[in-house]
Amino acid sequence: MPLSKVCGKCKVEKQADNFYKHNRMASGLSSYCIPCHKAHNITKKKIARANPEFRKKEQTAKKLYRERTIEQRAEYMKAWRIKNPTAGEDYYKANIADIKAKAKIYCELNKHKLNARTRKRQAAKLKRTPAWLTVEALQRMERAYEVAAICTKMSGFAWHVDHIVPLQGKTVSGLHVPWNLQIIPAKVNYSKNNKFGDTYATF
């Protein structure tokens, strides 16, 4: 295997480790360097995805893959999060401006989806709020949201009022009552993802 090779795309001579290995090539290396190889594949995919039939087959294949590897991927992500406990927070801090800009664009383009989701959530909350709740209980719930707002202001990051037993859980559904509320960091709430598990500081 040669120590260097000229890329067939950019025509620049580069060290062998800048090329993928390719056993069918005389040199044992791919024709294009790694950056050019990746750019070439992106262009090919972009052209192919313009074909609705190809796009449909690709989406079907991805769906089948996700279904087939759901347990393996869950175990991998669990191990990865243990090894990289601050990775998500570090990425957010490093890319906060870009993330907020993309979120703003998404909200503007998908107002109908966000409104539908909000209405669904509000309907579920009303449905799961017992008529027998006292005025004192309702006031306690209002204070929970006030405390969450204070925590957000004082800490510099978002806090949410979460339902310990989710209102719309897949296996169990709780009530919108004071003793089912807990005030937790938003990132913990997002990771909880509507699941019933460990509780945090309850209100």
> Which domain-ending residue is among 68, 89, 124?
68
Asked whether residue 114 is domain-assigned, the answer is: no
Asked whether residue 142 is domain-assigned, the answer is: yes
Question: What's the pLDDT at 59?
Answer: 93
Dmax over Cα atoms in the chain, in whole Å? Answer: 82
Asked whether residue 165 is domain-assigned, the answer is: yes
CB 162 within 8 A of CB 142: no
- Residue 196: burial class (beta carbons within 10 Å; 0-12, 13-18, 19+): middle
Global pTM exceeds 0.85 = no
The number of domains in the chain is 2
Question: What's the pLDDT at 196?
Answer: 56
CB 142 within 8 A of CB 186: no
Beta bridge partners of 6: 13
Question: What's the pLDDT at 202?
Answer: 44
How far is the C-alpha of 26 from the C-alpha of 127, rounded, in Å?
70
- Residue 202: burial class (beta carbons within 10 Å; 0-12, 13-18, 19+): middle
The closest alpha carbon to 37, from 49, 50, 25, belongs to: 25
CB 22 within 8 A of CB 47: no
* Spans of the chain below 70 pLDDT: 170, 192-203
Look up residue 23 and give its amino acid. Answer: N
> Which domain-ending residue is among 40, 68, 96?
68
Question: What's the pLDDT at 115?
Answer: 81
How far is the C-alpha of 15 from the C-alpha of 11, rounded, in Å?
13
Asked whether residue 140 is domain-assigned, the answer is: yes
Asked whether residue 94 is domain-assigned, the answer is: no
CB 160 within 8 A of CB 154: no
Please list, in sequence order, all residues whose beta carbon lies within 8 angstroms of the beta carbon of residue 86, skipping any fewer than 6 positions away.
none
Asked whether residue 18 is domain-assigned, the answer is: yes
Name the residue range of residue 35's domain.
Answer: 4-68
Asked whether residue 47 is domain-assigned, the answer is: yes
> Which domain-ending residue is among 68, 84, 106?
68
Asked whether residue 40 is domain-assigned, the answer is: yes
Question: What's the pLDDT at 201?
Answer: 45
Question: What's the pLDDT at 203?
Answer: 44
SS3 30: strand
